[in-house]
Amino acid sequence: MKKAVFSLLLFAILPQSGITQGVRIHNGFMKAEDFLHMSTDSRRDYAMGIVDGMLLAPAFGAPDKGQKVQSFGACIEGMDDSQVAAIIEKFLRDRPERWNERLNLVVFAAMMEACSKK
């Protein structure tokens, strides 16, 4: 089960690590509100998968202009899956207007906001 979730999430978020002008971001598989309806374990699995995918994006040729992926890696150093899941959950609970958006893009925004505060 965890392998399937990881694989699914990996392919959903790989393109997003290069969010720049002219880059097409895949819609992903889920809406942001779906995350709030997941079990705690599923949220943690999702958090692991999306973070691993973001960090692996350069292996698929995603550009790392300005060292974004490396900066993100430094930001999450020491975090575990439950902390990342909590960051995502808090971001969503504070912004119900974003629940209809694609989860992969909202997670990216949540993590970038959290990292900017570090």
| Range 75-93 burial, b when 16+ CB lie within 10 A, else e | bbeeeebeebbbbbbebbe
Say what the pTM is.
0.78
Nearest in space to 87 (alpha carbons), one of 69, 75, 100: 75
- Count how many domains the chain has: 1
CA 86 to chain centroid: 12
How many helices (H) does the chain have, and how many strands (E)?
6, 0
Domain that holds residue 49: 2-116
Q: Provide the residue-wise pLDDT of the chain in tens; the chain has 118 residues.
A: 444 444 334 444 444 444 445 667 778 899 999 999 999 999 999 999 999 999 998 888 877 776 888 899 999 999 999 999 999 999 999 999 999 999 999 999 999 999 999 8
